Structure 1
């Protein structure tokens, strides 16, 4: 057995943006609770079942708060009959009756098809029959839309129940006999069945955070965080960081984000507060939103004594070239498998192996699970044979979304993840570990003289700034921030108003709005996020008791492209 094993860190990033409408508090998209049922439950279950496996799980604090909110709202409905802030939940639970008008029925029918059909709809014949009745009869086509009112309410109840059953994680379907009972019934779900479904969801969602905390406390999993609202920290600190990788990129109308350093500190402090509230300790590491780093951003982490952060292979390559790292170690990627420490800083940096991460994110979904896991292990064996000869400890960082890839795998990647954890836990050349443990066990960071600012996507900030639509989004945000600064300086806000405004501003500063702006994204998704962003900005003005500007009535972006996966993954 090889003594100097290759250390491998699997880092799963759990993130959903703030989906509650700024003005009426309604959840406009259901992805927090649906991914909770399907992915956050399955991902923790796999680790519980294979205690020899280790991983890092990164949570965005704004996701943790929404998970808590959903659990509380569902439980309040079960206990007191209180309406929930998500229309889909009110309909599936029976808290609100199935509407009679065609427009709302069409909204239900369309919402219940938002899933990757081959793996979530087609595998359940009873669910597929309901969807086929809608589509083969062309009831959703514009000339026939009034015909949808001829379907009885039971049809829509069954459709809603099946949509939620289909989003249940494989671990829940295996372990919870109540789900199997509902699936076996197939149709004509009663009010009692609907209530049972809601109890299942409440139980599942309420267990997520405690289960991950238990794995943290046992030492099997390292939990880390992203700054509170998931902002692009280097851009808050300095718009000029955009130009380091894209020197000719168009800039927003304003030269800098006003008070950006103060805001970056706020997101860090608030994030730490939320993380410690749920997990009982300060995290050792911070995955800056989208792996977006810069020299100033790492200096910020040093102020909070954060031990590690991480980014993508593009940032690694650009920074190595700028720092004149040994050309052989760069071209062979040998230097990718050692953490780096920026000169004059304390925080160590790990860098994502894009090829290995993208194999999981995009390729292995079409492979047999055993073949995929063995292929991945073979890649690691080859890396180990190459880099572990020098007596140094090396670490491979595999970093990707913890929720978005699995929808495209059979059975939510159930078989693949079992094989992956099993093969890697018992691999003669590989040791699964965490970033903090790697540093503690003697992995020595390479000094890095220069950081070239960028993110895990293309090694630049092009996904969030430099496009005309994205720049308009920044202009609208900056105008709102200027109104916020002016009102705070006037002393006219109460302490409660200022707290509300500050938290609302944090939502507006999130990265997701800018991610979706641009012509290369699907029009429906762009519209959803465009509406939410402008609603959040209007809410900020309302809290400030200022009239929202007229330009917030105009869409920022229309989209029109296609994404390879419907989630927020992007191939490097």
Structure 2
């Protein structure tokens, strides 16, 4: 029975992002996460909406992720594979590979959530047990492993990273899993080709869902920089008044660079999806008053960020503000404006978003869905106004699922079914809400001031304010000063200038700073630390300038054991 209360609008937002894992000078992929998430998570996330035409949501695709997906498609078309792990899957002579390549396979092919992605498969578990038995005898002991061992390990790793929707519907994948061992060269080649087909089909699948009106697709400034920090390091202190900042007072030319990322994202989106994005997820939900209005200047109609930012902004905007219950301030969008531009900003329900990211993987799917829907029903029933409540749940659309059984197949299927058919809850998209906000909400409240921050704790503590993170920024500032000097001199050819700007944009991404810090694992920190320093070194090479010796030294050394491998964080501490 439908309630007499105003309908609750459920605004689900899946953020899809991987940083650029390529060495731009060699074209080689240093890490394989883009294509692995493509065949596991991006395939499954599209499938669930294809399987339930009544479900609606918004997807955010960061352009640097799309750049890489298209690059993988080109690799398969030309048969010039630049990802060393992917290339080994189709290697016709595993007997002839080097000792280093064998070690690389061992080091790479057990990187997954063992409880959900390795242990359920006895043949894969057996391969792991063999490697662990030899490990204590040193690398030389791996020479006892046969070519067939490496062939089977490569196949099983890629099977573990294959989406549940593929496993359930592709008879070839089912045959491989049933066979379990002694995979032939032809089977490896056929599996390799299937991976290429899955990646090539991704953008068309999402584009089709967008065209049908079932999903909205938004964007992010191209290489995922945190706009407020490019604009002003001191914006950090809105949420962390006493935070130490980099030695450089500002990022040189930050506004010009922020504008370049926004424009590039809009152009990229139009090229891929046939239209400019209506809205954007600022990288990491990183906003400030200046950053939001900069998006508005570029005709971005809506943006979104974290619940903590809203709380801080209300305190900043209204003198002697007394914070009410979150039901009375969170479940509505707000207007941010100046004399010429305006943008609508939505705010994440941290509690519900974090439940999906961190809690529901431990529950049976039906129990998790009942809890989630029950919480939404409680928010709906508590509404004593004539305005509809808008609940925005925003989180990573890729990294959580390896912690769920069956890549969250049952959880997502049951969640979409429950919400799409609910009499009092309507699944919707950001642009739909902006279009009908006057009808469902009345006149939007204007926030006179935005307190700068992100979706993580409402601050920028994940990216700036510690010794390691600030050092990373200082290294980037020094490189940017050299970049500006070379550009001013004008001795580079146009193509060289283009390559330098691309390399600079990669270095400006947020991901490098995310991983600096002892709360992350040492393996993850080392991988991203090395790649960041490689990117900075490549920028100096492209600028034809000496590489500073300091880039030979690690910026950060992790020692923590973060939840979900450190790829996700909670919105609230």
Using the TM superposition, give the Cα deviation of residue 101 of structure 1 relative to its aligned residue in structure 2, in angstroms: 5.0
Using the TM superposition, give the Cα deviation of residue 280 of structure 1 relative to its aligned residue in structure 2, in angstroms: 0.8
Q: 1:352 aligns with which of 348, 360, 383?
A: 348
Contact kept? 2:9, 2:426, Cα under 8 Å: yes
**3-state SS of paired residue (1:336):** coil
What does residue 503 of structure 1 align with?
Answer: 502
Using the TM superposition, give the Cα deviation of residue 98 of structure 1 relative to its aligned residue in structure 2, in angstroms: 5.2
Query: How far apart are the structure 2 equivalents of 1:76 and 1:163?
Result: 24
Using the TM superposition, give the Cα deviation of residue 488 of structure 1 relative to its aligned residue in structure 2, in angstroms: 0.5
Q: 1:44 aligns with which of 43, 46, 51?
A: 46
Using the TM superposition, give the Cα deviation of residue 28 of structure 1 relative to its aligned residue in structure 2, in angstroms: 1.3
Judging changes above 3 Å, is the alpha-carbon distance between structure 1 residues 86 and 336 closer, same or farther for their aligned structure 2 residues? same
Query: How far apart are the structure 1 equivalents of 2:222 and 2:203?
Result: 17
Query: How far apart are the structure 2 equivalents of 1:75 and 1:195?
Result: 14
What does residue 97 of structure 1 align with?
Answer: 94
Contact kept? 1:241, 1:294, Cα under 8 Å: yes
Query: How far apart are the structure 1 equivalents of 2:219 and 2:51?
Result: 24
For residues 84-124 of structure 1, give each alpha carbon's deviation from its aligned partner in whole angstroms, at most 9, with x where no partner exists: 11111111111563565544323211211000011111111
Q: 1:415 aligns with which of 410, 414, 421?
A: 410
**3-state SS of paired residue (1:432):** strand
For residues 181-236 of structure 1, give each alpha carbon's deviation from its aligned partner in whole angstroms, at most 9, with x where no partner exists: 22222111111111100111011111111100111111100000110000000000
Contact kept? 2:92, 2:185, Cα under 8 Å: no
Contact kept? 2:293, 2:336, Cα under 8 Å: no
Using the TM superposition, give the Cα deviation of residue 322 of structure 1 relative to its aligned residue in structure 2, in angstroms: 1.5
Query: How far apart are the structure 1 equivalents of 2:334 and 2:423?
Result: 26
Query: How far apart are the structure 1 equivalents of 2:285 and 2:184?
Result: 47
What does residue 114 of structure 1 align with?
Answer: 111
After TM superposition, the structure 1 = structure 2 runs for residues 29-40 of structure 1, keeping only pairs within 5 Å, are 29-40=31-42
What does residue 541 of structure 1 align with?
Answer: 540
Query: How far apart are the structure 2 equivalents of 1:69 and 1:103?
Result: 26
Query: How far apart are the structure 2 equivalents of 1:330 and 1:523?
Result: 42
Q: TM-score, normalised by structure 1?
A: 0.96
Query: How far apart are the structure 2 equivalents of 1:163 and 1:531?
Result: 24
Query: How far apart are the structure 2 equivalents of 1:290 and 1:327?
Result: 27
Contact kept? 1:425, 1:432, Cα under 8 Å: yes
After TM superposition, the structure 1 = structure 2 runs for residues 139-288 of structure 1, keeping only pairs within 5 Å, are 139-141=134-136, 143-288=137-282
Using the TM superposition, give the Cα deviation of residue 440 of structure 1 relative to its aligned residue in structure 2, in angstroms: 1.2
For residues 486-540 of structure 1, give each alpha carbon's deviation from its aligned partner in whole angstroms, at most 9, with x where no partner exists: 0000010111111110011000000000000111111111110011001111111
For residues 118-151 of structure 1, give each alpha carbon's deviation from its aligned partner in whole angstroms, at most 9, with x where no partner exists: 111111111111111111x1x123x332111011
Q: 1:427 aligns with which of 400, 422, 426?
A: 422
Query: How far apart are the structure 2 equivalents of 1:435 and 1:398?
Result: 11
Q: 1:63 aligns with which of 62, 65, 70?
A: 65
**Higher mean C-alpha deviation, range 561-570 or range 392-401:** 561-570
Q: 1:378 aligns with which of 374, 377, 389?
A: 374
Contact kept? 1:311, 1:456, Cα under 8 Å: yes
Query: How far apart are the structure 2 equivalents of 1:320 and 1:559?
Result: 36
Q: 1:395 aligns with which of 381, 386, 390?
A: 390
Contact kept? 1:22, 1:537, Cα under 8 Å: no
What does residue 21 of structure 1 align with?
Answer: 23
Q: TM-score, normalised by structure 2?
A: 0.96
**3-state SS of paired residue (1:231):** coil
Query: How far apart are the structure 2 equivalents of 1:328 and 1:252?
Result: 34
Judging changes above 3 Å, is the alpha-carbon distance between structure 1 residues 51 and 325 closer, same or farther for their aligned structure 2 residues? farther
Query: How far apart are the structure 1 equivalents of 2:566 and 2:396?
Result: 9
Query: How far apart are the structure 1 equivalents of 2:97 and 2:343?
Result: 58
Contact kept? 1:320, 1:330, Cα under 8 Å: no
After TM superposition, the structure 1 = structure 2 runs for residues 439-478 of structure 1, keeping only pairs within 5 Å, are 439-442=434-437, 443-444=441-442, 445-478=444-477
Judging changes above 3 Å, is the alpha-carbon distance between structure 1 residues 564 and 74 closer, same or farther for their aligned structure 2 residues? same
Query: How far apart are the structure 2 equivalents of 1:397 and 1:163?
Result: 35
Query: How far apart are the structure 1 equivalents of 2:320 and 2:387?
Result: 16
For residues 381-438 of structure 1, give each alpha carbon's deviation from its aligned partner in whole angstroms, at most 9, with x where no partner exists: 1101112x31112210000000011100000000000110000111122110001101
Contact kept? 1:91, 1:98, Cα under 8 Å: no
Q: Which runs of 5+ in 2 are unaligned?
A: none
What does residue 565 of structure 2 align with?
Answer: 566
Q: 1:289 aligns with which of 283, 300, 303?
A: 283
Query: How far apart are the structure 2 equivalents of 1:296 and 1:218?
Result: 35
What does residue 126 of structure 2 align with?
Answer: 129
For residues 547-568 of structure 1, give each alpha carbon's deviation from its aligned partner in whole angstroms, at most 9, with x where no partner exists: 1111111111111111111152
**3-state SS of paired residue (2:193):** helix
After TM superposition, the structure 1 = structure 2 runs for residues 362-373 of structure 1, keeping only pairs within 5 Å, are 362-373=358-369
What does residue 310 of structure 1 align with?
Answer: 304
